[in-house]
């Protein structure tokens, strides 16, 4: 297959990672990059990107070789750039959160036409460990699903001495705080592993801003959530129980779980060294028996690189690699 000619708009913390992962693939040739900051343009040039632009709009309007773009800057102005890409006939892979609200998402869906579009929220569903978990659910080993659960608390640390990014917990710059910034990953992972069976009906939720003693971790104008908790009741009696917090006055907690009538899965969304996926099977004779389905570190070959390559395959009209955890488009 001829490599997809790719441009990257936004070369910050996440965009730089996206650029390097795209460069590492035989399916992609990164031919252009854009960033408003001179130091990030210089960095992209040092990576061997042949054409550098200050404004992403110039990349889209002037660079006819570019077939597809990665759009990787805060969500406040990202939808306009994606719409411009579609208007110029270019496929778009968009960083998370996908947009500021549902209306913007609907506008992008309507505007893309026959072009390929996707969002980076599927990073962790692209790991091999997620495939193992999804295969277990698909097999029926858990019985009827009852509860989808995750709880992830990250403790606050001492002051770093660095200025925090203004977008991280901002409704106007990035559509919100920890819920939109991180739990797009959480939700994509647990809902995808569960086979997209959950259909929400009623939600009860609460968000909280960063606690006063930890405000040095966020920009002074931050107005969005650093911690949230929600209980969502779905059709057929299934329940989604979710919580995530950063800069918390709590020790670290990381847990994802799917509970059914016949068994449950203990999951690990971040499949780093030594972590496990465990199946707890319920038996009338033996009680609950635990079995390890997966353990180790599945970072190589999964996550970001696989998602970007699937996007490139789709842009060429080829089927993305299918697996139990990726039964819907990225």
Whether residues 119 and 37 fall in one domain: yes
pTM of the model: 0.91
Q: Considering its fold, how many domains does the chain have in total?
A: 2
CATH number, position 59: 3.40.50.720
Contacts of 327 (CB under 8 A, 6+ apart): 134, 192, 195, 196
Tens digits of residue pLDDT in 72-112: 999 999 999 999 999 999 999 999 999 999 999 999 999 99
Structural domain including 29 reads 4-123+302-326
Same domain for 163 and 199?
Answer: yes
> pLDDT by residue (tens digit) across 249-274?
999 988 999 999 999 999 998 756 67
Residues paired with 153 in a beta bridge = 245, 253
Q: How far is CA 25 from the centre of its chain?
A: 20
Do 311 and 271 share a structural domain? no
CATH number of the domain that residue 194 is part of: 3.30.360.10
**Do 21 and 152 share a structural domain?**
no
Q: Are strands 287-296 and 275-283 parallel, antiparallel or unpaired?
A: antiparallel
Output the average pLDDT for the chain: 93
Please report the pLDDT score of residue 195 as a whole number.
Answer: 94
Residue linked to tokens 């920890």: 178
What pLDDT does 300 receive?
Answer: 60
Q: Which of 4, 17, 328 is nearest to 191 (CA)?
A: 328
Residues 52 and 89 both lie in one domain = yes
Is residue 140 domain-shared with residue 234, that is, in the same domain?
A: yes
Identify the band that residue 179 occupies on the pLDDT scale cut at 50, 70 and 90: very high
C-beta of residue 293 within 8 angstroms of C-beta of residue 136? yes
Same domain, 73 and 97: yes
239 and 153 part of one domain: yes
């Amino acid at each position: 297959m001829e490599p997809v000619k790719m441009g990257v708009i936004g070369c910050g913390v996440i965009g730089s990672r996206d650029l390097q992962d795209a460069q590492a693939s035989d399916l992609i040739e990164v031919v252009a990059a854009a960033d408003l900051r001179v130091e990030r343009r210089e960095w992209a040039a040092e990576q061997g990107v042949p054409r550098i632009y200050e404004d992403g709009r110039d990349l889209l309007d002037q660079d006819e070789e570019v077939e597809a773009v990665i759009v990787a800057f805060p969500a406040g102005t990202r939808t306009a750039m994606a719409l411009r890409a579609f208007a110029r006939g270019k496929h778009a892979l968009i960083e998370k959160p996908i947009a500021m609200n549902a209306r913007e998402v609907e506008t992008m869906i309507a505007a893309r036409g026959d072009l390929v579009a996707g969002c980076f929220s599927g990073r962790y569903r692209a790991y091999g460990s997620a495939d193992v978990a999804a295969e277990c659910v698909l097999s029926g080993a858990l019985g009827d699903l009852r509860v989808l659960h995750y709880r992830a608390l990250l403790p606050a640390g001492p002051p770093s001495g660095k200025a925090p990014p203004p977008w991280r917990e901002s409704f106007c710059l990035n559509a919100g705080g920890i819920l939109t910034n991180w739990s797009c990953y959480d939700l994509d992972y647990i809902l995808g592993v569960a086979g997209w069976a959950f259909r929400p009906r009623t939600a009860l939720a609460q968000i909280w801003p960063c606690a006063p003693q930890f405000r040095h971790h966020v920009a002074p104008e931050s107005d969005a959530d650093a911690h949230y908790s929600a209980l969502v009741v779905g059709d057929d009696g299934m329940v989604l129980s979710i919580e995530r917090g950063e800069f918390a006055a709590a020790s670290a907690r990381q847990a994802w779980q799917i509970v059914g009538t016949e068994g449950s899965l203990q999951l690990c969304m971040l499949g780093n060294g030594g972590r496990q996926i465990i199946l707890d099977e319920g038996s009338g004779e033996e009680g609950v028996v635990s079995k390890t389905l997966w353990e180790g570190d599945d970072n190589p070959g999964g996550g970001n690189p696989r998602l970007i390559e699937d996007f490139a395959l789709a842009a060429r009209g080829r089927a993305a690699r299918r697996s139990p955890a990726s039964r819907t488009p990225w």
